[in-house]
A = this chain, B = another copy of it.
Amino acid sequence: MTYLWDDPANFADDALTGFCELHADLVRQVPGGAVRRGRPERPKVAVLPGGGSGHYPAFYGVIGPGLADGAVSGNLFTSPSAQDACSVARAAHSGAGVVFSYGNYAGDVMNFGLAADRLRSEGVEVEHVVVTDDIASAPAEESERRRGIAGDFTVFKLMGAAAEEGAELAEVVRIGRKTNGRTRTIGTAFAGCSFPGAAEPLFQVPDGHMGLGLGIHGEPGLRDVPLPSAAELAEDFVARVLAEKPDGAGGRVAVLLNGLGAVKHEELLVLWRHVAARLRDSGHVPVLPEVGELVTSLDMAGVSLTLTWLDDELERLWTAPAWTPAFRRGHITEVRGEETVDEPEAETVGYAPAADSSRRLAEHVVAALRRVETAVRDAEDELGAIDTVAGDGDHGRGMVRGVSAAVEAAERAQLAGAGAGDCLAAAGDGWADRAGGTSGVLWGAGLRAAGEVLGEHAGDAEIAAKAVDALATRIRELGGAEVGDKTLVDALEPFRAALLSATTSSLVEAWGEAATAADRAARDSARLVPRKGRARPLAERSVGTPDPGAVSFALITKVIGDYLTGAST
C-alpha cells in the first residue's frame, strides 16, 4: 500500500518538488524534472536519464557529479512528455550535446524520440541509449525488444562517469550502448505495489508464490513459481543471468542486488551471501557490488539481480567516484562554472492570419473539444475502473489531463487568431505535452496531424475523412499496434474505414455512422486478449472487459458526432 499523499493526481510532482527542496544544494527543479545546480565550467555532454516516476532513486536520485546531469520525470509509471524531455535538456545542455537514456518502453521511446526531433531543430545534438537488460521480457535473439529495469542504473553510471571524464557525445553513447550490451537482469516479485489512493494493488501474486521475471510496472513475467528459499532463489537467478554471458566476456562483473521496495535490507543481505558464493563458484569476481534500492517500484515486494561484464574500460568507469543524493562512491569534486539560471522564456505563440471562415470553424473546434472534456471528466471513474482490470487504472485520469490541456491550448490558439487547423494542432501539442505516457503522445501527434490536414479547409465530410485518416495513420505509425491487439486501434480503424467509405456527403451522417462503428468495435474489444508484453499479469482477466483506450476513443467520436448534430440544426 501507499499511505502518504495529498492529491493522488499530483503525487509524482509533489515528490519531485520535495526532492528538489531537500537537495537544493545539488539540484534545481525545472519543468519536467531536475538538473544539476550550476553549469559545468566547460561544455560537457549532458547525461539525462528519464522515465516514469515511482522508481526512486531512478531517475532524479542519481543526479550529481560522476552520474547524471539531470533527469526527466513523468507521472507515476507513465513516460514523461516530449515537452518534459525538451525542458530538461535545454536546462542541462552546456554546448556538448545531450544523451537521453531510458528503459525500452513504448511511451518513453516515442516521447524521447519526439523531443530529440524538436531539440535537433533547435541545434542541440541529441542521442539516445535505450536500456534492454530484462532477460525475462523477450528471448535473447530478440534482445532489442527487452524492457529496461535495474540495469538502467549501471548504464547511467558508466555514461555519467565517461561524460565526467570529458568524453564527447559519440563516446558517451558508445559506452552506454556497450554497457547495455553487457548487462543482464532477472527480477521477481512477491507482491504488487499500489498507487496513492488506489483501493487495490496494481497486480497480485498468488499466496506462497512469486512472479518470476515480472516487470517493474507489473508487466507479465515468465511464470508464477512457489516461493524458494534465499539459497534457491540465488542459485536460480545466477544461473539465468550467467546463461546469457556475452561472448568473450571475462570474470569481473559489476553486480546490483536490487530491492524493489518492500523487500528489506536484511533480506537482501541474506540473499547476497548466496549470490556472491554462486558467482565465485562460477569464476566471477564481483567488483564493488551494490546491494540496496536502485530502481524501485513504489512498495512492490520484489528483488532483481543485475550483472554487467566489465572490461578494463568499463571497470574504470564503474569504480569512478560519484556523488548524488542516492548513490555516493569515492571522493569527487565538482568544478562549477558561474551559477547562471536561464529563466525559461515565456512561450509566445504566433499564427499566420487565418481566413474568417477558418476562424469561425475554429470556434466549433474549441466548442467541440470543450464538450469532449466534459464527457471525459464525467467518464473518468468508469474509464479508470475498466483500466484497473488489465492496466494501472489511470486511463481516466490521463485522458482528463490530456483533454484539459488540449482545450486550454486550443483556446489560446483561437485567442491568438488561429484558424481551425492550427487550433486542432495546438490542441494536440497541448495534449502530448501535459499528459505524457503512450496515450498522450498518440492522441497529441494524431490531433496535430489532423490539424495540419484540416488547415484552412472547410469542415466538410471529405476533409474530415482526410483529417481522421491522417490522425489514424500517425497513431499507427507511432504506436505500432495492430487491429486485434486490444488497443485504441481496435476502435480507430473501423472509425477511419467507415468515414473513408461513407457514401453520404453529409458530415453529420457520415460521422454518426463511423462513431457507431467505433462504439461497436470498442464494445467488441472485450473478447480480445491484450498483445504480449503490453499488459500486466491481470491481462488474462481482462477478457470480458473492453479496452479503455478503445472505449475513450469511441466516447470522443460520439461526443463530437452529437456536437455536429447539434451544430447543424
Show the binding face of A for B, using Cβ within 8 Å.
Answer: 1-6, 11-12, 14-19, 21-22, 53-54, 56-57, 61, 190-191, 196, 210, 227, 229-231, 233, 261-273, 276, 289, 291, 293, 296, 298-299, 301, 303, 328, 331
Contact: B262 with A18, CB < 8 Å? no
Tell me the smallest distance from the CB of A517 to a CB of chain B, in Å.
43
Closest to A291 in B: B22
Q: A4-B303, A16-B269, A264-B299 are in contact. List 12 more A-B contacts (CB 8 A).
A: A1-B262, A1-B301, A2-B264, A2-B267, A4-B270, A15-B265, A15-B270, A17-B273, A56-B265, A57-B265, A61-B265, A265-B293
Known: A15-B266, A54-B266, A266-B12. Is A4-B233 also a contact (CB below 8 A)? yes
Instruction: Give the copy number.
Output: 2
Contact: B191 with A1, CB < 8 Å? yes
Contact pick for A21, options B12, B231, B273, B331, CB 8 Å: B273
On chain B, the residues within 8 Å of A18 by CB distance are: 268-273, 291
On chain B, the residues within 8 Å of A289 by CB distance are: 22
Tell me the smallest distance from the CB of A167 to a CB of chain B, in Å.
25
Contact: A301 with B266, CB < 8 Å? no
Contact: B3 with A267, CB < 8 Å? yes
Q: 6 tightest CB-CB pairs across the interface, nearest first?
A: A18-B269, A56-B265, A4-B267, A15-B266, A15-B269, A18-B273
On chain B, the residues within 8 Å of A231 by CB distance are: 6
Contact: B331 with A299, CB < 8 Å? no
14 A-B pairs with C-beta separation under 8 A? A2-B264, A3-B227, A3-B263, A4-B303, A11-B266, A12-B266, A14-B270, A15-B265, A16-B269, A17-B273, A18-B268, A196-B267, A262-B299, A263-B299
Known: A53-B266, A265-B56, A298-B264. Is A229-B21 also a contact (CB below 8 A)? no
Query: In the bound complex, what is the Cα–Cα distance between A357 and B184 (angstroms)?
Result: 70
Tell me the smallest distance from the CB of A58 to a CB of chain B, in Å.
10
On chain B, the residues within 8 Å of A21 by CB distance are: 272-273, 276
On chain B, the residues within 8 Å of A54 by CB distance are: 266
Contact: A262 with B265, CB < 8 Å? no
Query: In the bound complex, what is the Cα–Cα distance between A560 and B291 (angstroms)?
Result: 49
Contact pick for A1, options B1, B190, B233, CB 8 Å: B190
Tell me the smallest distance from the CB of A56 to a CB of chain B, in Å.
4
Contact: A3 with B291, CB < 8 Å? no
Contact: B261 with A264, CB < 8 Å? yes
Closest to A274 in B: B6
Query: In the bound complex, what is the Cα–Cα distance between A266 and B261 (angstroms)?
Result: 11
On chain B, the residues within 8 Å of A299 by CB distance are: 262-264, 301
Contact pick for A270, options B11, B210, B266, CB 8 Å: B11
Known: A328-B328, A331-B331. Is A210-B3 also a contact (CB below 8 A)? yes
